[in-house]
Chain A
Amino acid sequence: MLLSSRFLRELILRPDTKKPIRERLIITPILNAERQMALGSASIDVRLGQKFRIPKRTKITHLDHSEPDHQMKLDKYKEETFVPIGDKFVLHPKQFVLGETLEWVHLPHDLAAYVIGRSSWGRDGLIIATATGVHPGYSGILTLEISNIGEIPISLWPGLTIAQLFIERVEGAEVGDRDPSSLRGSTEPRNVNAAADDKDIIKRFKDAS
């Protein structure tokens, strides 16, 4: 069941202080509650944060998640930069960067979320997020995969509302359940090895064939 903005306001701005911190919905900082959780909607707008990870052209021939030096390659392939509020990052056509939400998102064991780009940005050719699920118990900034598929450069100003978060209740969840991924606790946009858990499987397939 999707939570309304009215309900989100209650949960975020007037939390039940008897509940342990772990069991509260925390989205912080909220700069403008009335606009970010406009009554009548069923989401909370989230803002663009200050850190970016930018791919750069290097001597690396390709990325292969199954290779042992994948992480090292990733570090060479991405450059981190900090764009303070008040300054802008210009995203050129066909360019891809990792950004972050300004807000820290902490979900209790029984809530999950989806990050969806705002359509007003999408109409300019800006695609905000592709992998959008946020699991119960997650706590961290959300990494945004941002692409400009339009024809002209777009200025990205940290602090702008760039995406929206739809939050749903999770049936059958138990207290203590937590997002098992290593992304929990992210304080900046990160790349992870998508195939980390599948390396054995790849080897088994190879051996079998």
Chain B
Amino acid sequence: MGSIGRVAQNKIGAAKERCLALKSELRKLENKQYASPRAADILRKFIGAATESLLRFFDEESGNPDLELLEPRALELRIHRRCSLVPFLFEYLGLLERAEINETNAEVALALRRFVRQVLPNSEVLLRAATHLNYSITEVAKDIKELFSQTPFPDLANVLPEAFYVITVPPVEANEVLLNAMLTHEAGHGIYEQGNLADKILSSVEIPHELIKDWAAKITSQQEAEKDEKTKTLKIPFQEFELRELMTKDVTGTVTSWVAELSCDALAMRILGPAYFFAFVRFFSTVAMLDGASSSHPPPRLRLRLMFRYLQKAFNFAKLQPINDFMSEWGSIVETEISPGGILVSQLALNAISEKVISAIFEAADAAIPAELHYTDKDFVEDVEEVSPVLVENVPAVELIRQSPGSLPHPSFASILNSGWYILLARFNDFQRNLPENIGNDELASRRQLHMLLLKSLELVEIKLGWDEHSLKVGESDHAS
């Protein structure tokens, strides 16, 4: 074989070694337990099958006499198309890092999967921990399928579900189950994408072209005045029209991102109700300033304002004094004028989020969530009256003796989180009184106990639901009476 043949052989040899290393890594993972076992299994099988296919291909190519007939660059390209998949397979394997059962809060994994699949059917969820203090969700199936569609093995990616979400939770908050409400916003990104909500909302956005024009003129005239006297050149060499174009692009990009974030908040509010608002208030107090904005995220005050308006419209807290007080306090905070400092793009983007846009966001969110998944005022009242009293007595809410006809026999993810927030904000003293003295007298230990109790509720409800579903499937009638 000539020198170019050796290049191809070298590529094949190196890729085979990496594939064998991948196989060895996969074998090591066989004994590991994951918080999301189904998702982990799908991913492992997919990577395993892809690795085997690549190894088969490389073996066949090694003994292929026709290779020498190819033009050298064509030969290299032919091999490279397959070799280039190997780093991606390692990257996919990396998704399983920190997804082990003891790295994440395994109790919540199955409940979360059920919850996400309710709003995003045909999806699978992999829960993993990440060091950064942020919740995130990434859909990976679409990219993988697209990548593999351009290879000789397009069918391999068919083992992946329609959507494969990798959800990361900060490990320091793994047991802070009430803050896990933030994940609903992340699930919202999936709904936003799948339902093409951007198309429905962005048409109502009006970019403030006149303001941009004024600002561009102002900035260029300022620069003109500040011309470097020695060189007679502008410090920032922009013409007014160029600056206007640049600003329009920046503002449009920012508004597009902000609309997505605000819409995901709106979706989370419909699915989870007050629990999302309470979690947001707690979470963002630590990580952001109320008026701090970026090109990807609107100021928290604007986000809270939209949530607050929705809560006022859809919920009645008048009879729940402590919640009402909490809402009153935050009502004045969220309606205070937003001042995103000297960041011009943020100020201009704020102008673009008009009442018309807010209405479009609300309408799109209402339509995107099926009515049966809306968390309503009636649900909240039931949770306050029927779920929270059980939890206050330091008993997990699993099988409820419910008074309201037609209610679910087991509390949902949304019910458990809302009841937990209600206890934390309105009945925490009662809860503390029911704890052993060494815990009840310690505020932080009591909070931890509440979180553990809520996690236990989620864990046990999931087991009960799984059991009941299986019993129905096999036609047993004698499961729990």
Contacts and interface: CB of A to CB of B under 8 A. Distances in A.
B467 A185 contact: no
A29 B465 CA distance: 10
B439 A187 contact: no
Contacts of B435: 184-185
B436 A181 contact: yes
B47 interface: no
B466 A106 contact: no
A25 B436 CA distance: 19
Interface of B: 33, 35, 37, 101-102, 106-107, 110, 389-390, 393-396, 398-399, 401, 403, 434-439, 449, 452-453, 455-456, 459-461, 463-464, 466-467, 478-481
Contacts of A175: none
Contacts of A182: 436-439
A147 to B, nearest CB: 23
A22 interface: yes
A102 interface: yes
A188 interface: yes
A139 B102 contact: no
23 contacts: A13-B481, A28-B398, A29-B399, A29-B460, A29-B467, A30-B399, A30-B480, A31-B463, A31-B480, A32-B480, A33-B478, A50-B106, A50-B107, A50-B459, A81-B101, A81-B102, A82-B101, A82-B102, A104-B460, A139-B395, A141-B456, A180-B436, A188-B452
Nearest to B36: A84
Interface string A73-92: 00000001111111100000
A33 B35 CA distance: 29
B467 A17 contact: no
Nearest to B454: A187
Given A84-B33, A87-B33, A185 B102 contact: no
Interface of A: 9, 13, 15, 17, 21-22, 26, 28-34, 50, 80-87, 102, 104, 106, 139-141, 159, 180-185, 187-188
A89 B373 CA distance: 37
Given A15-B401, A29-B463, A106 B37 contact: no
B399 A106 contact: no
Contact of B464 (A22, A31, A86): A31
B436 A32 contact: no
Contacts of A185: 394, 435-436, 439, 449, 453
Contacts of A21: 389-390, 393, 395
Given A84-B106, A85-B466, A187-B453, A28 B394 contact: no
B456 A187 contact: yes
Contacts of A22: 393, 434
A187 B480 contact: no
Given A184-B436, A185-B449, 6 more contacts: A15-B401, A28-B460, A30-B399, A50-B459, A104-B456, A185-B394
Contact of A187 (B438, B455, B467): B455
A22 B433 CA distance: 13
A88 to B, nearest CB: 10
A33 B436 contact: no
Contacts of A82: 33, 35, 101-102, 106-107
A104 B464 CA distance: 13
> Most A CB atoms within 10 A — which of B101, B394, B455?
B394
B453 A33 contact: no
Given A21-B389, A21-B395, A26-B395, A86 B463 contact: no
